[in-house]
Structure 1
Amino acid sequence: MSWLDILLWGIAPYLMVVVLVGGTIWRYRYDKFGWTTRSSELYESRLLRIGSPLFHFGLLVVIIGHVIGLIIPKSLTDAVGLSQDAYHVQALAIAWCTLM
């Protein structure tokens, strides 16, 4: 493995988790009263009223797609005769349908 592979797949994911947890703790300690549940401010703009639900729907589809991709074992796709390229094309087609 190259040093780039080690950096991208061995170090970066753990570094991102540390940044996420550390940033959350820092924000809670130093900006405790900045956390608010007033989400109606998001919908004041007409474009955000349309875009925000679509953005969240897209995120939901991406997360569900990744979970399904992790659940389906390679042995199952091999058993039904689905090549890896066809599997990825199918995933991209489903993702493209969410954009329509």
Structure 2
Amino acid sequence: MITAEYLNNFFLGYLPYVALTVLATGLIYRTIRRNNTIQASSSQFISNDKSLRWGSTLFHYAILLVLLGHILGLLTPE
């Protein structure tokens, strides 16, 4: 049982904070030191092909619907 508690604390307690710290550190580093590397060069690739434009649009709508579903699931009482 102690191993299960340790894994639970690690994955649900410590790991999210480690991941957020790495994310924030990387964003700050790229913004300050390598500002010219942050760009959306893939938009030129998508704009030349209509089927890719449709796929990209539908993908982003699906991601937003999944996010909305998770938020509604968290707000729903037991």
Q: TM-score, normalised by structure 1?
A: 0.62
Counting only pairs closer than 5 Å after superposition, residues 6-45 of structure 1 correspond to structure 2 as 6-36=9-39, 40-43=43-46, 44-45=48-49
Q: Give distance in 1, aligned partners of 2:39 and 2:23.
A: 19
Pairs aligned (count): 74
Query: Which range is displaced more, 14-23 or 38-47?
Result: 38-47
Asked if 1:58 corresponds to 2:62, the answer is yes
Segments ≥4 residues shifted beyond 6 Å: none
- Which has the higher relative contact order, 1 or 2, with Cα contacts under 8 A spaced 6 or more apart? 1
Instruction: Give the match for residue 93 of structure 1.
Output: none
Q: Give distance in 2, aligned partners of 1:64 and 1:51.
A: 20
SS in 2 for 1:57: helix
The Cα shift of 1:40 comes to: 3.3
The Cα shift of 1:58 comes to: 1.4
Q: TM-score, normalised by structure 2?
A: 0.76
The Cα shift of 1:12 comes to: 0.9
Q: Give distance in 1, aligned partners of 2:37 and 2:6.
A: 40
Q: Which of 65, 70, 75 matches 1:71?
A: 75
